[in-house]
Chains A and B, each alone.
Chain A
Amino acid sequence: EVPLVESGGDLVQPGGSLRLSCAGSGFTFTSYWMTWVRQAPGRGLEWVASIKEDGSDKYYVDSVKGRFTISRDNTKNSLYLQMNSLRVEDTAVYYCARGTLTIFGVALYWGQGTLVIVSS
């Protein structure tokens, strides 16, 4: 297994902000795309955002564009998700996932998730 540990989930009011972190270890962090995937209560998996190995390319699901920012610090083997203007519908468990060396757009390892609750 490849440890990925998320943190930063919390209860936040609508319109608020939160920053999620994901610490990777046991692999060469700079060699992999990294991704955030979320799962709302009782729902399926939903891709949120992905970032290229060197951080030069970033992609987002339409529903978070302009509100969320994915970033990484390769010196700290860490991935981040800055979430602004949070909405009730952003309530979910957020998973950090690592890509593969051979297949684009597929996650190989997952973290345990961190819970974000947006509620007044």
Chain B
Amino acid sequence: QSALTQEASVSGTVGQKVTLSCSGNSNNIGSYAVGWYQQISHGAPKTVMFGNSLPSGIPDRFSASQSGTTASLTISGLQPEDEADYYCSTWDYSLSAQVFGGGTKLTVL
């Protein structure tokens, strides 16, 4: 069982806005910024957001927010190439460990 909770699957159509959520507690998301990682067909993960920052090369249709013990990744204007597994992660100070969510499979219809 993962320390962070994500939806198992989310789907959307091309051009649609979708939001993926990541739920934790005061020891992790409530205290630290969250990273979001994209993994296409079990290839190497790629960071698409860290905190509210967009890594170089990531399209600005990706954005993130965080409130209390929940974080969200929003993709505005969904594209076929966005179909992937998405993971959230952050530090947990009570565990002294980095924790991951179980991942959300995003399907672009």
Interface residues of chain A, those whose CB is within 8 Å of chain B, are: 1, 35, 37, 39, 44-47, 50, 59-61, 95, 97, 100, 102-113
Q: Given A44-B2, A112-B44, A113-B44, answer yes or no on A106-B100 (Cβ-Cβ < 8 Å).
A: no
How many Å lie between the Cα of A44 and that of B42 in the bound state? 9
**Of B42, B45, B55, B90, which one neighbours A105 at CB under 8 angstroms?**
B90
A-chain residues with CB within 8 Å of residue B85 when the two chains form the complex = 44
Flag if A47 contacts B89 (CB, 8 Å): yes
B-chain residues with CB within 8 Å of residue A105 when the two chains form the complex = 32, 35, 89-91, 98
**Of A47, A95, A102, A110, which one neighbours B100 at CB under 8 angstroms?**
A47
Flag if B44 contacts A50 (CB, 8 Å): no
Known: A46-B100, A61-B97. 14 other contacts (CB 8 A): A44-B101, A44-B102, A45-B39, A47-B99, A95-B45, A102-B53, A104-B33, A104-B91, A105-B89, A107-B47, A107-B89, A108-B55, A111-B44, A112-B44
Most B-side CB within 10 Å, residue of A47, A60, A61: A47
How many Å lie between the Cα of A47 and that of B92 in the bound state? 12
Flag if A47 contacts B97 (CB, 8 Å): yes
How many Å lie between the Cα of A82 and that of B91 in the bound state? 23
Flag if B96 contacts A59 (CB, 8 Å): yes
Chain B minimum-CB-distance residue to A111: B44
